[in-house]
Chains A and B, each alone.
Chain A
Amino acid sequence: MPDTEYAVAAVLVTAAVTWALRALPFAALAPLRASSTVRYLSTRMPAGVMIILVVYCLPDLPMTEARTVAPLAALTVTVGLHLWRRNALLSILGGTAVHVLLTSALLT
């Protein structure tokens, strides 16, 4: 088991790296804000970044296994609910509920 000092130090190291990554680019990229290319990127990046994060979150499961159904079904429910009701909370809770139900009750 890690000692307390180490566990705290790991959090501090993470915080320092994360804050640097979040803050320093503003100084480095400030002169570029006025450029039309940067504006083009900034309007299109949010959607792309979120899609990449979704792919990143999906587990690495082979298509032949029954367990793979859980994330795919949950993703379908999330997308379906969101296109239908546009209620973020409902979509997240609905998709997560389907996933919890499938992974802990049906596909164990």
Chain B
Amino acid sequence: MRIRPADAVPAVRPDPGLVGRAPSEARAAFRASLSVGLGFVPLGLAFGALVVQSGLGWWWAGLSAVVAFGGSFEFLLIGLVVAVAPLASVAVAALMVNLRHVFYALSFPLHRVEGRLGKAYSTFALCDEAYALASTEQARSWPGPRVLWMQCYLHLYWAGSAVAGALLGSLIPEGVTGLDFALTALFTVLALDALRELRGDLPVPLLAALSALVARVLFPGEMLLVAFALFTSLLMARRLMTTGRPSRA
């Protein structure tokens, strides 16, 4: 990481005012969004291509990417829509797959985002990757506008690559498969970065892996929901044990 002091502490310099600050926040957010954002591109292309291959119009890929903006569930939604699943089933499936977002409210820095509209957009565009980027150690010093810009870029990458994938979908050779691994690779990279910030707190990844495996074996249909609930409970239990104070009155 080579950050020149001038870049790292812009607040120390005489502030040219909001007019000068906004573009620099946008630029800083752009740099921060690149790693995750470019991981979005192969995924978005794959999503768009899959939409067209499934017989839906290219515009639907764009609509879903802009309005629903929930990567992993959007892949699932293609199958539900093609099967003309009842809207109630779509709602329940979306609830199950996206329930993990409930946990993001615990640590996402929404309090730094200003204004009703800003907060509304920030919660709307709170995808897994936006949460992961905003909860890194470096991001703890990010002002609100940078968080918003970062989310905006991720949204753009996703929508842009989904539409591009839908329009170019027919160009992908028939035998090419396995592009979907991009999603796994993305989460793997984010997990490794988050692990490094735990600084050797080994029980945390072990508890997470245990929760994931138990949920996957016992509740394959609701794996994410069960795994997140189990992991949170185990963390709470560990916290109670390590602080060592029985809460009995």
Point out residues on A near B: beta carbons under 8 Å.
Answer: 1-2, 4, 6-19, 21-23, 25-26, 28-29, 32-33, 37-38, 40-58, 60, 70-71, 74-75, 78-79, 82-83, 87-89, 91-93, 95-96, 99-104, 108
Contacts and interface: CB of A to CB of B under 8 A. Distances in A.
A56 B224 contact: yes
22 contacts: A7-B60, A11-B67, A13-B87, A14-B64, A14-B70, A15-B69, A18-B98, A21-B99, A25-B104, A45-B103, A48-B208, A49-B228, A52-B215, A54-B212, A56-B212, A56-B216, A57-B187, A75-B184, A75-B185, A78-B188, A82-B189, A96-B181
B148 interface: no
Interface size bracket, B side: 35 or more
State the majority secondary structure of interface residues on B: helix
Contacts of A37: 236, 239
Contacts of B22: none
B69 A52 contact: no
Contacts, number: 257
Contacts of A15: 67-69
Interface of B: 34-36, 38-39, 42, 55-57, 60, 63-64, 67-70, 72-74, 77, 80-82, 84-85, 87, 90-91, 94-95, 98-108, 110-111, 120, 123-124, 126, 128, 131-132, 135-136, 175-179, 181-195, 197-198, 201, 204-205, 207-209, 211-213, 215-216, 220, 223-224, 227-228, 231-232, 235-236, 239
State the majority secondary structure of interface residues on A: helix
B87 A56 contact: no
A49 B44 CA distance: 22
Contact of A46 (B72, B90, B131, B236): B131
Contacts of B192: 79, 82-83
A43 B109 CA distance: 12
